């Protein structure tokens, strides 16, 4: 055990003494020295940045309260790992001893957004945290909380196979694939959500969100239950995570971390609402994203349903594993012609090949 390692025994004693509802256990991170533990975080927060984030969160909350009249409240609980038996959350990854949590939180949020927009919980999407971090301006020393989102909006993020992650500083130009420009997934925007109601609505109605938090020394030892900081835990640093759900019964956020599946509850943690010291739902916002699905060819696709209104240019088709897409007005193949193709395919259980993005289908043939 390293010097300055986390004393799990003391944490367990504190949990019992304070009547908290979570369990702690030893793991790979609790055995590390403080210097090594800090490498598993990675949000850079200067005093000026802390002040800015807090001020923006308060202003956003005031705006949300002003505009909240008439908005239907979010359900009492929501978890994107189980929506009607379907899991829209991609597997937990491990950033290792490199302060790249911002890119892991960014990619986790974007990956779920892709699955949700496609309406396909089984869709294989694996974005490159290495590209996001090391081509976007970050390093193993860390990055700003929303820097990854800004880069995903301006440039985009390639797939993992294009630039596989290693837990050390990587040179962008020599590490990415040669056709990286054709493999980018982008977001059109990201939005802050600051009141508790706005945070829950964003999760339930849009998807998992990016969040940030202060990490205390007992956090590393989390194993199960609903985490609450013990009284004498000390501040270690700041961390970026992906919030995939919430539970009003247990009064907690459901968080996807980036420390592998051997940490926490299979890589996840439940964090009690309203812990001001953690910043997660008090001083810092949650950020939801609008992802752009790259235009591409899909082959051997089944058409489950078609729809058209009395307006000939308003026609849609539901593609298995992809979801609803509107036939693009002015498409080269013509709206009426494509609708006929999809109608025939649906009626006769035939497959089609389509050229589509996340909103429209532009070309098709049987």
CA dihedral defined by 208, 213, 216, 221, rounded to 10 degrees? 10
List, in sequence order, every residue forming a beta bridge with 315; answer none if it has no partner. 308
Phi and psi torsions of 300, nearest 5°: 55, 50
The catalytic residue among 94, 120, 193, 257 is: 257
Helix (H, G, I), strand (E, B) or coil at 183: coil
Closest by alpha carbon to 316, among 292, 294, 342? 342
What gap in Å lies between CA 79 and CA 312, rounded to an integer?
Answer: 39
* Catalytic-role residue among 27, 40, 98, 101: 101
The answer to whether residue 257 is catalytic is: yes
> Which residue among 98, 239, 242, 252 is the active-site one?
239
Q: How many CB atoms lie within 10 A of CB 161?
A: 10
Instruction: Provide the token pair at 253.
Output: 């956020």
Q: Give the separation between CA 133 and CA 152, rounded to whole angstroms.
A: 10
Joined together, the tokens standing for residue 9 give 């025994």
**Catalytic residue list contains 101:** yes
Q: What are phi and psi of 87, to 5 degrees?
A: -110, 110
Count of CA atoms in the C-beta half-sphere (13 A) of 154: 10
Catalytic residue flag (residue 66): no
- Quote the CA–CA distance of 230 and 222 in Å, as a whole number: 11
Distance CA 308, CA 13 (A): 64
What is the rounded CA–CA span in Å between residue 108 and residue 100?
Answer: 13
Mind telling me the catalytic residues?
A: 101, 239, 257
């Amino acid at each position: 055990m390293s010097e300055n390692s986390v004393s799990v025994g003391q944490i367990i004693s504190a949990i019992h003494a304070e009547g908290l509802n979570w369990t702690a256990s030893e793991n790979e991170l609790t055995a590390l020295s403080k210097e090594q533990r800090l490498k598993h975080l990675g949000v850079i927060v200067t005093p000026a940045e802390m002040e800015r984030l807090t001020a923006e969160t308060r202003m956003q909350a005031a705006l949300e309260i002003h505009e909240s009249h008439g908005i239907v409240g979010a359900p009492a609980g929501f978890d994107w790992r189980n929506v009607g038996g379907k899991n829209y959350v991609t597997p937990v990854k491990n950033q290792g001893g490199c302060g790249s949590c911002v890119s892991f939180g960014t990619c986790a949020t974007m990956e779920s957004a892709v699955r949700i927009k496609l309406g396909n919980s089984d869709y294989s999407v694996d974005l490159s945290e290495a590209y996001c971090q090391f081509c976007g301006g970050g390093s193993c020393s860390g990055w700003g909380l929303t820097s990854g989102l800004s880069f995903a909006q301006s440039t985009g993020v390639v797939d993992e196979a294009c630039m596989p992650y290693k837990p050390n500083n990587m040179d962008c130009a020599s590490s990415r694939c040669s056709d990286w420009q054709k493999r980018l997934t982008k977001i059109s925007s990201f939005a802050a959500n600051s009141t508790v109601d706005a945070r829950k609505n964003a999760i339930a109605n849009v998807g998992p969100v990016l969040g940030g938090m202060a990490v205390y020394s007992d956090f590393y030892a989390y194993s199960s239950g609903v985490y609450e900081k013990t009284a004498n835990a000390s501040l270690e640093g700041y961390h970026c995570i992906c919030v995939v759900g919430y539970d009003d019964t247990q009064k907690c956020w459901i968080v996807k971390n980036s420390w592998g599946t051997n940490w926490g509850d299979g890589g996840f943690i439940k964090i009690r609402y309203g812990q001001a010291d953690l910043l997660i739902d008090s001083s810092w916002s949650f950020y939801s994203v609008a992802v752009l699905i790259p235009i591409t060819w899909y082959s051997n696709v089944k058409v489950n349903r078609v729809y058209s209104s009395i307006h000939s240019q308003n026609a849609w088709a539901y593609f298995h594993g992809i979801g609803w897409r509107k036939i693009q007005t002015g498409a080269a193949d013509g709206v009426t012609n494509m609708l006929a193709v999809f109608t025939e395919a649906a009626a006769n259980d035939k497959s089609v090949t389509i050229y589509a993005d996340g909103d429209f289908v532009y070309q098709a043939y049987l």
